Structures are given as structure tokens and as C-alpha cells.
Amino acid sequence: MIGDELLSGIVREYKGQHLTILPDSYVVIDLETTGLDPQWNDIIELGAIRVEKGNVVDKFSSLVNPGYIIDSFITDLTGITNEMVASAPSIKDALPKYLDFVNESIVIGHNVNFDINFLYDNCMNSLKRPFSNDYVDTMRMSRKLFPQERHHRLHDLLTRFGVKQNVEHRALADIEQTNYCYLYMKSYIQDNGIDSVSVLNRHHSHISAKDIKATVTEFDESSPFYDKTFVFTGTLERMIRAAAMQLVVDHGGNCGDGVNKTTNFLVLGNGDFRGTKKDGKSAKYKKAEQLKLSGCDIEIISENVFYDMLE
DNA sequence: TCTCCTCGAGATCT
DNA sequence: CTCGAGGAGA
């Protein structure tokens, strides 16, 4: 995002700050737009709810006429049609009322930088002022809180927290669900005595195999994992690598970062390789093949076989 | 072998 | 921002 901003010459100098506190009073926002890029796309719905001391005290919702035909892809996604925005105000007319509603409050949203960037640019263009509210991002909270999860879309959070979700992406509906996710994670942090500031600030440094400690003390010695050393290459489909490594050590096995003579299993991720690869094989794969030829006790298995071994 | 750095690419929002 | 591969240098 920063790179894109520099390339396109957009530096949002007066943007608010990301906060690691968990406020009781705030405004949850969500926008529907004609696309993903604030430079080329426009707002078609402004939504917000005001929460004070845990209670929803006010709501704001307004469609916005972008001044051109909305792509059918967006209509399918959001349920917002050209007929619906035909009588709606332009962004220049709708924005001041919206800003009055949001006021100076802390803003909460899912991947809220998306919404804030749209608001910032529209404020600059229409009103010659920035949008500088500080904010809390529920996507960032989820990433920090549940680093073992691969996906952190709003949809994924709702599934994880056991909530049914709507088909259409209308602003107020998404806002209500975002608020639910915020409150859920806020309680999760408080109930588990987590230090929110340090957890929400930590950047997830690279996990090395030796950092993974077993969470159990008793091991089944007949497990195919027992006393075996596992190494992973490529991206796993079903979980992130750290979670798979945790499974290995909890079954009495060990993990390594690189392939060597002590490696017993190399697990090939079903997903694409991200690093440089020639002939579709990673360096770990080729090294494992060599060791196997020279008589080492090493097996090269697929991700699916790995899961089968767990049973 | 290990630690640290760089690079590419995916994720997330509509 | 994150994750994973791979290279440099101790």
C-alpha cells in the first residue's frame, strides 16, 4: 500500500494513527464503493454507527450517486443498483453530514485503512481538508490475536466466532457484524488477561522450528511422528506452517527449518511455491532427493499424506 | 548451521 | 502487513 502511494504520488500526510487501545465509545464505519482503488473508484454508500459505553446510540446510512453507471459486478456484490443511487446525493453533498456524524471519534472498521483512504481522498478533493481520525482495525486485531489462522476476512471472523452472515454487502449490515467481531475480540483479550498493547503491536517475526514447543507432556510412542524430524517446503493449503509444526511437536516429533541428514520427512505444500523455483522444485525438495539417493532415511510426502498420518 | 537480510507474492477492502 | 525461499557472512 505504501509502495502504491509513493508510485502514484499519494502521501496521506495527515492520516490518523492506528491505536492499540480497546475503546468503549467509538464509531464503526463501512463504505461501499465502485471498486478497490480510491484513485479510480468512488463511494456509493456511507455507513456508520455510534457506540457509547457499549451501547449503539445512533446510526448513519446514505447512498451516494457516483455520477456514472455502477458495474454489474459491484451491484451483484453489494446489492446497490443504479436505480437506487439515481436520487441519492453526490459525495460532495453527503460527505459533510457524514463527517458531522463521525466527528472526532475513534473509528473502527475491518481493514479500515481501505475506508479511511477513500474518505481521506474524498475529503481532500471535495472539502480541501484531510480525514485525521485515529482508528482501530479489526482485521489487524485478528491477525495479531490469531496468527495461526491463514485468513482474516470479515467472513472468516464471523465463521470463527459462530455468526451467520448476510449475502449482500450493505454498509450497515457489515458494520453490525464488524462491531460484533470487535466486541468478541475485546472480550477475548480481557477474559484471557492478554496485554492488548504488546499483542496488538507485535509484528510477527519469522517463526523458526526451534521456537515451537510441545503443549503436551505425554506422547504416543507408536505415532508415526514420534522422534521423527519434519521439514516443510512451500505454502500449506489447510493451515499456516507454524500450526503444522505445532502438530508435529505435539505428536512427539521434531521440526527443522532446513533439510539435512537428520530430516525424516519433507512435507510439500499443496499451494504454490513462492520462492524462486526451477523445474517446480524448491531447494529443499532437491536436497531431500539427493539425501534419499545417498541412503538417508528421508521420505518426501505431500501435504495430504501429512494429514493422513495424523490419524 | 545459524542469524540476518532481501525479494516476490498473497491478503484484505469493493 | 505476512509468509516463505534463498543468499551472505559469521
The per-residue pLDDT for range A116-125, each reduced to its tens digit, is 999 999 999 9
Percentage of chain A beyond pLDDT 70 is 93
Decide which of A183, A201, A219 is a domain's last residue: A201
Percentage of chain A exceeding pLDDT 90: 54
- What CATH number is associated with residue A239? 3.40.50.10190
Q: Once rounded to an integer, what is the mean pLDDT over residues A56-62?
A: 97
For cell 490419524, name the residue. A311
- pLDDT of res. A297: 81
Strand C contact nucleotides, protein CB < 7 Å? 1-7
Q: What mean pLDDT do residues A192-220 have?
A: 78
A244 and A304, same structural domain? Answer: yes
What pLDDT, on the 0 to 100 scale, is given for residue A15? 93
Active-site residue among A110, A169, A203, A251?
Answer: A169
pLDDT(A197) > 50? yes
Q: Look at residues A162, A183, A201 and tell me which one is the last residue of a structural domain.
A: A201
Distances (CA, A) of A259 to A227, A266, A272: 16, 8, 19
pLDDT digits (tens, 9 = 90+) for A268-297: 776 555 444 546 677 787 777 777 777 788
Which DSSP symbol is given to A206? P
Q: A158 is written with which cell numbers? A: 464471523
The pLDDT-based confidence of A199 (bands split at 50, 70, 90) is confident
**Alpha carbon A228 to chain centroid, angstroms:** 33
pLDDT at A8 over 60: no
* pTM metric for this prediction: 0.81
A162 and A294 fall within a common domain = no
Q: Which nucleotide is nearest to A169 (CA to C1')?
A: B14
CA of A217 to C1' of B1 (A): 28
* Contact predicate A129/A152, CB 8 Å: no
- Say if CB A122 and CB A90 are below 8 A apart: no
**From the CA of A69, how many Å to the C1' of C4?**
42
Q: C1' nearest to CA of A206: which nucleotide? A: C3
A141 or A202, which is more confident = A141
A270 touches strand B (CB under 7 A): no
Query: Are A171 and A126 part of one and the same domain?
Result: yes
| pLDDT score recorded for residue A72 | 96
A96 vs A295, higher pLDDT: A96
A304, pLDDT greater than 90: no
Residues A78 and A213 in one domain: no
Regarding whether A291 and A152 lie in a shared domain, the answer is no
Is residue A41 located within the same domain as residue A128?
yes
As a whole number, the mean pLDDT across chain A is 86
> For A273, phi and psi rounded to 5 degrees?
-75, 140
Q: Which pLDDT does position A279 carry in this prediction?
A: 60
- A270: containing domain: 209-309
Q: In this structure, are A103 and A167 located in the same domain?
A: yes
Residue A183, pLDDT above cutoff 80: yes
Tell me the H-state helices in chain A.
2-8, 72-78, 82-86, 91-102, 112-127, 138-145, 154-160, 171-191, 196-201, 241-250, 283-293, 303-309
Domain match, A238 and A159 both: no
How many domains, in total, are found in chain A?
Answer: 2
Higher-pLDDT residue of A211 and A142 is: A142
Question: Are A226 and A274 in a shared domain?
Answer: yes
Would residue A206 show up in a list of annotated catalytic residues for this protein? no
CATH number at A85 reads 3.30.420.10
Distance between CA atoms of residues A25 and A234, nearest Å: 43
Which chain B nucleotides are covered by protein, judged by CB under 7 A? 1-3, 5, 7-14
**Are A59 and A161 in the same domain?**
yes
Q: Are residues A197 and A247 in the same domain?
A: no
Contact flag, residue A77 CB and nucleic strand B, below 7 A: yes
Same domain, yes or no, for A178 and A214? no
Residues A209-240: b if buried by 16+ CB within 10 A, e if exposed: beebeeeeeebeeeeebeebbbbbbbebeebb
Asked if residue A32 keeps its beta carbon closer than 7 A to nucleic acid strand B, the reply is yes
- Among residues A154, A179, A201, the one where a domain terminates is A201
- pLDDT of A271: 59
CB less than 7 Å from strand C: which protein residues? A 18, 140, 143-144, 147, 203-204, 206-207, 232-236, 240-242, 269, 273-277, 282-284
What pLDDT is recorded for position A272?
58
pLDDT of residue A246: 75
